[in-house]
Structure 1
Amino acid sequence: MGGLGHAVLRRRRLRGTPLGSPEERATYEALHRTALAAPALRQGLDRSSALETLPHVRALLGTPTVGLTDTTAHLAWDGPDDPTDPGLADVVAATLRTGRTQAAGPAVAAPLVVDERVIGALVVVAEQPSAGLLRATAEVAAWMSGQLELAELDKSRTALMAAELRALRAQISPHFVYNSLGAIASFVRTDPERARELLLEFADFTRYSFRQHGDFTTLAEELRSIERYLVLEKARFGDRLRVVTRVAPEVLNVRLPFLAVQPLVENAVRHGLEGQQGAGTVTLVALDEGADCVISIEDDGVGSDPETVRAVLSGDTSSASVGLANVDERLRTVYGNDRGIVVETAPGLGTKVTLRIPKFAPP
């Protein structure tokens, strides 16, 4: 019984022990507040994000009133003070004009700066602003500016991805369209059912290639589109085109940039086989390698000069293989510079293109 009483007493003592010093608790609270405010700021500076952010900023600074403005007007206000007060307007105007933290009376305004442009201001109202509050306001505004700059970067990356995707769609070879329709037409009299099947494949292929929703897809969806493309090309090449596929079931649901694999298969057929006599083989492999899905597209065609491929990947858009550069750039934009495509080729020895897609990286 004495042992049990000792355990209960020890537990009560532990419950009364402070969890860290006051400084540590203050640090935790500050980090917690910034973590809560960050997601809204990453959406950009507008009224909605300002309304969501300001309660956390107010708690972080410990002031009665905080506000956010853009370069034209107050976006949101949190606190009892009147945002239309002329004194507040003068402080904000001075901050927007000079790009420096300003103080007048009870108000402090610090600039929000993105890419060296003042895009707004953080406004703080306190009964007696101190030098410490001025510094804290300036630091919080600088942190907010960093989050807003990341939001701008996200938007520019998204715009870049969309532009590159439009460019890739525009590069879908007119020769492929004409040749596919020609192959379909050749079956109309001799094998109407085959012509009908090929026409449906062509419709599904173009519908996928020009879809307007989503910059990302699953590997399974991409492979279905590739299968349609190869059915159409086999109708044209016949036995000259052989296709080998090996795909691990575990990677079928991996998400990757839309049209990241299909252009590489098109390059393998167009540049690997069209320029040679006799039959050729395209091999598509997708393997599960730990945290990555490793995809390779290989042909046994005419190959290329490695220097030519290097020039293409560095931005020589005059090349007919510009699809390589497009896929490479989009992969680097999404996953980082170490995630571009790897090309192995030599004249007469075919070409192999490899890409590594993180299985768990959120698009």
Structure 2
Amino acid sequence: MEVLAAAVTGGLVVALGVAVWLALGRRRDRGLGDPSDLATYATLHTASLAAPFLRAGLDADGARSALPHLRALLGDAPVALTDGAGLLAGTDDAPPAVAEPLVTTVLTHGRTEATDDAVVAPLVVEERVVGTLVVHTDQPSAALTRTTTEVARWISGQLELGELSASRTALMEAELRALRAQISPHFIYNSLGAIASFVRTDPERARSLLLEFADFTRYSFRRHGEFTTLAEELRSIERYLTLEKARFGDRLRVTSTVAPEVLHVTLPFLSVQPLVENAVRHGVEPKDGPGSVRVLAHDAGAFCVIEIEDDGVGSDPDVVREALAGRGRGGSVGLANVDERLRSVYGDDHGLVVETAPDLGTKVSLRIPKFAPGVST
């Protein structure tokens, strides 16, 4: 009986061991996914590797870098990319003559064509055929033709995203140049006048203000990067307000409340500074007696909320609407410029919010996502 009990016990242990092994195996299989899941992952991963080279533009260097990944998407067939002028790059086993008559046809008519030894699909950006994807094969099939067409459409999407990104960058740079041209004459004239007033009476202060002016203009006219951090923007604002307080004296009061956790938030360059200048120039300056400007930045979950408020003369809301629409005449400095750049980067939900009325001051608010695709310093 003892022998039998031992045998039964041993059998149970073995059975449990097998059951645990099978359960772990099934769990491991579920974690890795079935063959279909794995194939989907591999395809997406391969596409993600090719995307950066394609978004950089359709040129020889990008084509050479993207081809190994495109080949993997197309079942390891020899592949090549062309632009409107001819071959950009091909895999080592792609025939030197890149089905030139077929490429010419596709460039002309903008649709996929196939022969006994190649499939050629168009690359289209904004309804323009800019090149082709060529797949060489000795076993043409309808499936390969469809696959080549879909991969070419995906490449076209990446090229279009690249062009949009480049266009957005060029537009933002142009808008920044316009903003600098708009704000600099007024500010430079007033700042130099304030500094000059201290040259004889307080030379040390004049020297200090001149250094602040140099640092401010260096930041405002820098040539690299379309984005900055809130901390850098606030440092520039502090220099600006130091210079303006030298001009206004006790007439200008400034308070600033900034949560430390939002200092590293990235935002478009010169998107807060012009709003502070508006508060001083169009709010406090025309006011009789002293005026105050308040700068607030606080954490709001996934967003950073920034508010610029003054107790100045305020404005008619219709005038502000005209300024935001870019139809203002001699109105707020850069208001439409900042609003348009914020919307172009983050979407229409992230434009400026302006609260104002005559003799009741002005409050301008902006809501910046802490993280946004393509936004980095």
1:10 corresponds to 2:23: no
1:187 corresponds to 2:198: yes
- Give the Cα–Cα distance (whole angstroms) in 1 for the partners of residues 206 and 68 of structure 2: 64
3-state SS, counterpart of residue 81 of structure 1? coil
Partner in structure 2 of residue 310 of structure 1: 321
Matched AA of 2:261? E
CA contact (8 A) 1:63 1:125 kept: no
- Give the Cα–Cα distance (whole angstroms) in 2 for the partners of residues 50 and 11 of structure 1: 50
- Give the Cα–Cα distance (whole angstroms) in 1 for the partners of residues 328 and 321 of structure 2: 12
Greater C-alpha Rg: 2
Q: 2:67 aligns with which of 41, 54, 69?
A: 54
Matched AA of 1:36? L
- Give the Cα–Cα distance (whole angstroms) in 1 for the partners of residues 267 and 363 of structure 2: 20
Shift of 1:345: 0.5
- Give the Cα–Cα distance (whole angstroms) in 2 for the partners of residues 268 and 84 of structure 1: 66
Please give the residue correspondences for 1:159-308 in structure 2 after superposition, counting only pairs within 5 Å: 159-308=170-319
3-state SS, counterpart of residue 103 of structure 2? helix
- Do the aligned partners of residues 169 and 4 (structure 1) sit closer, same or farther apart at CA in structure 2, a change above 3 Å counting? farther
Provide the identity percentage.
66
> Which is worse superposed, 332-341 or 24-33?
24-33
Q: Would you identify which runs of 4 or more consecutive aligned residues in structure 1 move more than 4 Å? A: 1-4, 16-25
- Do the aligned partners of residues 317 and 164 (structure 1) sit closer, same or farther apart at CA in structure 2, a change above 3 Å counting? farther
- Give the Cα–Cα distance (whole angstroms) in 2 for the partners of residues 8 and 163 of structure 1: 70
Q: How many residues align?
A: 361
Q: 2:156 aligns with which of 133, 145, 159?
A: 145
Q: What do the CA deviations read for 1:272-325 (whole angstroms, capped 9, x no partner)? A: 012121110000111111111111000011111111111111221534214111
Shift of 1:38: 2.1
Structure 1: any 5+ residue segments left out of the alignment?
none
TM superposition score normalised by structure 1? 0.94
Matched AA of 2:310? D
- Give the Cα–Cα distance (whole angstroms) in 1 for the partners of residues 48 and 85 of structure 2: 28
CA contact (8 A) 1:64 1:79 kept: no
Q: Alignment RMSD, CA only?
A: 1.9
Partner in structure 2 of residue 84 of structure 1: 97
Partner in structure 2 of residue 334 of structure 1: 345
CA contact (8 A) 2:319 2:328 kept: no
Shift of 1:33: 2.5
> Which is worse superposed, 234-243 or 99-108?
99-108
CA contact (8 A) 2:118 2:140 kept: yes
3-state SS, counterpart of residue 10 of structure 1? helix
CA contact (8 A) 1:37 1:53 kept: yes
Partner in structure 1 of residue 3 of structure 2: none
Partner in structure 2 of residue 96 of structure 1: 107
Shift of 1:104: 2.3
- Do the aligned partners of residues 192 and 22 (structure 1) sit closer, same or farther apart at CA in structure 2, a change above 3 Å counting? closer
Shift of 1:119: 0.6
CA contact (8 A) 1:243 1:282 kept: yes
- Give the Cα–Cα distance (whole angstroms) in 2 for the partners of residues 247 and 25 of structure 1: 47
Partner in structure 2 of residue 71 of structure 1: 84
Shift of 1:341: 1.0
- Give the Cα–Cα distance (whole angstroms) in 2 for the partners of residues 304 and 6 of structure 1: 83
1:134 corresponds to 2:134: no
Structure 2: any 5+ residue segments left out of the alignment?
1-9
- Give the Cα–Cα distance (whole angstroms) in 2 for the partners of residues 9 and 164 of structure 1: 69
- Give the Cα–Cα distance (whole angstroms) in 2 for the partners of residues 129 and 106 of structure 1: 7
